Amino acid sequence: MSRTRIVAVDDDRRILRLLKRTCENVGYEVHSVLDAEYFESSFRAFEPSLVFLDLNMHSIDGVALLRFIAEERSDTSVIVTSGVDECLLDDAQSLGLSLGLRMLTPIRKPLMVSDVRRRLDAFRDPIHGGVRTALSGCELGDALERGHLDVCYQPQLDLGSERVVCVEALARLRRPGSGILSPEQFIPAAEQCGLIDTLTFGVLDRALTRLRGWQRFAPELQIAVNISPVMLGDTTLADRVAATLAAHDIPPARLVLEITETSLSPDRQLAALTLERLREHGIALALDDFGSGFCSLGHLYESPYSTLKLDRKFAMRAEQDQDAAATIRSCLELARAVGLTVVAEGIQNESTLRWLAMHGCHQGQGYHISPPLFAAEFGAWLEARHAAGEPVLALRAAGGRR
């Protein structure tokens, strides 16, 4: 059996030696990164389960590396090691949680061997160590009753015109004492405890309210909301979604419902009927995370989807991995044949965006374009862009990153 892998990144050799020696003494395999500019390549090659991350390095901001870790491998645990003040540590912890990472209790410098060992104990014990990654059904129900549900918004670009054509609504939950939780930390509880309907319609209601407010800046903007496959067995779903749209006076064509490929409903016949009814109402459907599951070409051809969203791993590896590039090209060829729009997720840099555009990918989404933004941030940017007539890619220069 292979040993658990750890990456330690710090620009102080003494700290790296301490971390390496302490972790190896309890049986872990450790890779040290002194120059943060090499962190991304080291991370991909080593595929660690845990990262010790210095926030305050000379060459690269540690917060940027948190975003990279979340995009690349969101199941990685992170222990921040830093001498920055408590507020910055808290901000980093909240950001990591909002990105879906398991953030263990940080270590303030100077490091002590005993501190490192306690964090390693916490890493081995996911229930009692650090911040728990998931809510129970009771905790989720209480959070929803207390109004702790929030929504972030991440834009999708038309890669030809660089216009924002759609914005994905992403559920977030505010948990006192733990910061902001991402969907991976509460959706399973929602599905298991019968709260997924309440949660989803809560997100839909908030998203449509915001869309109404943004109409004067972006009258044709679509909004995408994720639907759990658990809900596809409900024969009333399509009518209830249509009624919600009507209550907000939003045309059905401006709503995109995203369904994840890896978790399509086990009752395929009933799910197919629900999807067809949604399309009959004029609501657009997107197959999310395409390439990560087992969706057959026959199913895709016969399905009512209008959009394919490629799993983020393909865009993230397109320029370095021939197989990933070939997969993207094949998907684009398939999409052209059956008349589907293709959205590439996980765009992390300008060269990847240009590569995708050059190969005919229709739309793109990812942290290079913008991280998910809370409503006030996204709305302020949208208004500023409308007033200035700036291109969509000015989002990054306009303070989109947090």
In this predicted model, what pLDDT tens digit does every residue of 269-319 receive, in sequence order? 888 899 999 999 999 999 988 876 555 555 666 678 999 999 888 888 888
**What are the sequence ranges of the domains in the chain?**
5-124, 137-397
> Is residue 254 predicted with pLDDT exceeding 80?
yes
Q: What is the mean pLDDT of the chain?
A: 83
Q: State what percent of residues in the chain have pLDDT above 70.
A: 85
Q: Quick one: pLDDT band at residue 132, thresholds 50, 70, 90? A: very low
- How far is it, in rounded angstroms, from Cα 189 to Cα 184? 10
What the block records as the tokens of 375 is: 């409503």
More confident residue, 402 or 77: 77
DSSP secondary structure string for all residues of 302-365:
HS---EEEE-HHHHHHTTT-HHHHHHHHHHHHHHHHHT-EEEE----SHHHHHHHHHTT--EE-
Mean pLDDT, residues 113-132 taken together: 67
| Domain 137-397 in the same topology as domain 5-124 | no
Domain range 5-124, CATH architecture: 3-Layer(aba) Sandwich (3.40)
Q: Which of 352, 331, 247 is nearest to 287 (CA)?
A: 331
Of 57 and 227, the one with more pLDDT? 227
- Phi-psi label, residue 97: left if phi above 0, alpha if psi -120 to 50, beta otherwise: alpha
Amino acid at residue number 140: L
d(CA 268, CA 289): 18
Q: How confident is the model at residue 181 (pLDDT cuts 50, 70, 90)?
A: confident
Sort strands 107-108 and 307-310 into parallel, antiparallel or unpaired: unpaired
Residues in the chain: 402
Give the span between the Cα atoms of 86 and 53, in whole angstroms.
16
The structure's pTM equals: 0.69
pLDDT of 245: 98
How far is Cα 19 from Cα 224, in angstroms, rounded to an integer?
43
Is 3.20.20.450 the CATH number for 137-397? yes
Give the confidence band of 266 by pLDDT, cuts at 50, 70, 90.
Answer: low
pLDDT digits (tens, 9 = 90+) for 197-224: 999 999 999 999 999 999 887 888 999 9
